Chains A and B, each alone.
Chain A
Amino acid sequence: MNYRLKVLVAVLAMGLTAVAVGCGGGSSGGSGSQGEATGIPGGNAPKDVTLELRTDVDTFDPHKSINESGAQQVFAAIYDTPIKLAAGGPDAGGVLPGLATSWTSNPSSATFTLHENLTCTDGSPLTPSGVAKSIERLGNPATGASFATRIFGPGGLKSVKADDSKNTITIKVNEPYTYLVEGMADAYIVCPNGLDDGKKLAQEPAGTGPYELTSSSRGEVYEMTRRDDYNALPPEMTIDQFPEKMAMRVIAEDSTRANLLETGEADIGSILGQDALRLRGSGNLNEVEGAGFGVSALLFNQSKGQIGTDETVRRALSMAVDAADYTKAASFNVSSEIDTVYSPNMDCYAASDGESTPGFDLEQARQILEDDGWVKDANGIYEKDGKALKVRLLGYDVQNSGPEYLLDAFGELGADVELNDTTFEGAVSVLFGTGEWDAVVFPYTAELYVPSLMIGQISGDPAASLNVGDVQNEAFNTLSTEASGLEAPERCKVWQEAETALLDSSDIKPVMWDKAAWFGNGMTFQAQFWIVDLRTIRVSG
């Protein structure tokens, strides 16, 4: 899936096309511009590239898409965005130019200056008014964009104004949102000609990006040709540094993707499971690490009456888990173990915050349970007040043997564990529907490197967010709300305090930094967890 960090729905990180290592752009809460190197590598692009998609495109309307990896990769080719983000995070370039060449911002608004003479795929002009119209549609609640809060913050879009004479657009939001500029990396700009017929847009893209979709066979392959009139290029790049033709094949199974790479029938693809091991050192394949923004963390169900409401139990279960062993079981060491909520490539990462995470210590875990009145019965299962320590563990296919590891780890501690190992979609049904779970490793990954995306995911009102664990950490709620309105560098200090608040109360335990093993047949490129930066594909050797 679905096998295969399969058919992973949009909870996981779907990184955007990005450029690693550069210092071209600035970060939000200030200003930025192009003009310095953006990390685009030199060298020649291959003429034709066959790239594997993990999932199919659900719709060609990027404002309605749930943005699975397949859709993200195709959109990165056929649509454009005001800015882009560096794959390496804020320390490796941060915010980079896209349709915009420069920008200024404060937590309530951002103004972007666009490239001159922009055009859509159909050749029609793309003016600032046209860009504004697209952003307006994206931010309109009636559109129902599933990720609008990631772009405009919790308060949503207030207004978008264009000045065609100055070539600028100004975006205002209802509540202060310090990552408004970064959010624009998700704001796909649809050509104005395509905005009025949503039904048609769903089937036929109205593109603005460097590629034109020339043929589309749903579930099979999307073929596209480079637009030689595309001019929103970084200064050190020429259009012929994009491959001339791209074919993006939908291949859901990890092993099938690996087979295609091994036989040369595909040029670029990502592998998340053990098939990566057989591809390493194989023939002409170059391996590229694609790190996600965010981590997978052990989460407990803290709904009323559930075992997760007990902080001692949460801490003991956390201490029974060795992050290194979990990472090996879940990813065959393609990913890395971690002890912080923010991954190293995210804004506000601080390695020292990991000191608040309970480490692996089985004896200590048993001790804290016994100190709290838990006693082992004849079967070695802890019980207290006549109730056994029963844990309903939820796992899903793309976690490979991770759920089995947790089953053993919790069993070693002295818990009675029942494992429900299902598909990711099945897990979503349980998490958002039946609620019949106590512990799960949840992917707190996002396609932007900003910690604010986690507001809706970790703590707060479950109905208004993705807080499936019903975590009510008041300190985190207060601090994260405060941080959302602050500018750099003050915001990171508060974000780190918010992170510590979560870890101190064992609301979650970070275990794994999700990474993908990308492979290129005689090619190199830069990539994030889900997608490749199409601007960086080069012939290797």
Chain B
Amino acid sequence: MNPKWRHFLLRRLTRLVVVLAGLVIATFALIHVVPGDPARAIAGAQADQNAVERAREELGLNDPAYVQFGDYLSGLVRLDFGDSFETDEPVTKVISRSIGPTAELAAFGMAIILFVGIPLGLLGGALSQEGNRKFELGFSGLTGIMAALPDYLTATVLALVFAVSLQWLPVAGAATLSAAILPAIAIAVRPMAMVSRLVRIRTLDVLEQDYIRSARSKRLSPRALYGRHVAPNALAAALSVAGIAFAALVGGAVIVEQVFARPGLGTELVQGLLVKNYPVVQGIILTLGAAIVIVNAIVDATLALVDPRTLEGEL
């Protein structure tokens, strides 16, 4: 293997381990300092004291924090995330049944970002380049608004219009692929707008380059010009923020899954936080953290394939 690639992979692997270790410590510490008694939350507000004490004992909450942390770490080494306080299910089972709806949402969302955001940005750059000031203002304004829309608001409006009024798509659930369309649009709108703005600026920049003027002087068709010269450079710019966009998608999924009643990781995470279901919260945050780091590594690798110059700094 090329030494630069070897070094690249080693660095990304190290980064993954460091991030996960940080997440393990941070989530354990944070969830334990947040006020509230998980035993009371799990036993129920109307439970008598006997039931609460029993819950506390069964959940190991009477043990000192360092003992609880030690137990948790030793479980992690065996890939055992513990059992849900609420349902007694292994956390790995909770994650495996919830990850599908979230992954589906993230995949659709990324597809929208890449296959709508990038062409939109390219088009925006091409039309702006011809000195169309009104278009430029309109594009910036519209994408600016889209980038500022809260996910919850977008989700609610999409549901009311396309699911309730027009009845084109399901209101809620994850039973069919079509049920992922509206929530995917809801979480993708903001990052898609940001990517298209970035691509437009990069496109304008590329169009100013000498080699583009040379290409034009050779009377290359617009398709060849944009396809062979402009798009790959703009793509690199889009890929550079794809990792951040993915993280934004994951954050949006947590909220949007509530609106569309999707039984994904976001729904489980919110419920886990509300009742202080430590094992579930820790397990899901680790999973999402690992996913973000891995996706960023894939993005970096793709960038390196598209533009090998990015590997220059690896040795």
Contact = CB atoms under 8 A, between A and B. Distances in A.
A265 B275 CA distance: 30
A219 B35 contact: no
A146 B171 contact: no
Interface string B241-282: 000000000000000001111010001100100110000000
Nearest to B40: A432
B217 interface: no
Interface stretch (A325-333, A421-429, A495-503): A421-429
A428 B171 contact: no
Given A2-B274, A203-B88, A425-B274, A432 B45 contact: yes
Contact of B45 (A9, A144, A149): A9
A433 B35 contact: yes
Given A217-B263, A219-B263, A423-B274, A256 B171 contact: yes
A136 interface: no
Contact of B261 (A148, A252, A426, A432): A252
Interface stretch (A107-115, A235-243, A462-470): A462-470
A256 B159 contact: yes
A7 B267 CA distance: 12
B46 A256 contact: no
Nearest to B273: A425
B152 to A, nearest CB: 10
A464 B49 contact: yes
B47 A10 contact: yes
A256 to B, nearest CB: 5
B54 A263 contact: no
B170 A252 contact: no
A144 B89 CA distance: 19
A456 B50 CA distance: 13
B163 interface: yes
B37 A10 contact: no
Contacts of A145: 51
Contact of B268 (A1, A219, A249): A219
Interface string B41-61: 111111111110011001000
Contacts of B14: none
Contacts of A118: none
A259 B37 contact: no
B104 interface: no
A493 interface: no
Contact of B46 (A147, A203, A221, A251): A147
Contacts of A199: 88
B310 to A, nearest CB: 41
Contacts of B271: 7, 56
A253 B263 contact: no
Given A148-B48, A219-B268, A263 B275 contact: no
A81 to B, nearest CB: 18
Given A146-B51, A263-B163, A265-B171, A10 B261 contact: no
A202 interface: yes
B91 to A, nearest CB: 13
Nearest to A4: B258
A260 interface: yes
Contacts of A417: none
Interface in B137-194: 156, 159-160, 163-164, 167, 170-175
B35 A429 contact: yes
Interface string A414-453: 0000000001011011111110000000000000000000
A66 B48 contact: no
B86 interface: yes
Contact of A220 (B43, B89, B173): B173
A218 interface: yes
B164 A262 contact: yes
A59 interface: yes
B48 A146 contact: yes
Contacts of A149: 48
B263 A466 contact: no
A116 to B, nearest CB: 35
B37 A429 contact: yes
Given A66-B43, A203-B88, A218-B97, A253 B258 contact: yes
Contact of A425 (B36, B51, B98, B258): B36
A147 B51 CA distance: 8
Given A10-B47, A425-B36, A465-B48, A250 B263 contact: yes
B50 A144 contact: yes
Contacts of B174: 220
B263 A218 contact: yes
A262 B257 CA distance: 20
Contacts of A432: 37, 40, 45
B274 A259 contact: no
A255 interface: yes
B40 to A, nearest CB: 5
B208 to A, nearest CB: 49
B170 to A, nearest CB: 7
B42 A252 contact: no
B178 to A, nearest CB: 12
Nearest to A463: B49
Nearest to B171: A259
B59 to A, nearest CB: 11
A265 B159 contact: no
Contacts of A58: 86-87
A141 interface: yes
A11 interface: yes
B261 A434 contact: no
Interface in B35-85: 35-37, 40-51, 54-55, 58
B164 A146 contact: no
A273 to B, nearest CB: 14
B274 A141 contact: no
Contact of A260 (B54, B88, B172): B172
A443 B6 CA distance: 62
A536 interface: no
Nearest to A66: B44
A105 interface: no
A67 interface: yes
A202 B260 CA distance: 27
Given A249-B261, A263-B164, A433-B35, A146 B44 contact: yes
B173 to A, nearest CB: 7
A32 to B, nearest CB: 27
A149 B259 CA distance: 37
B155 to A, nearest CB: 10
A203 B45 CA distance: 23
A256 B47 contact: no
Pairs of residues from A and B, 4 with the lowest C-beta to C-beta distance, nearest first: A66-B44, A146-B47, A429-B36, A219-B263
Given A253-B258, A428-B41, A433-B36, 14 more contacts: A66-B46, A68-B44, A144-B43, A144-B55, A144-B58, A218-B94, A219-B98, A249-B172, A249-B173, A253-B259, A255-B156, A265-B171, A265-B172, A423-B274
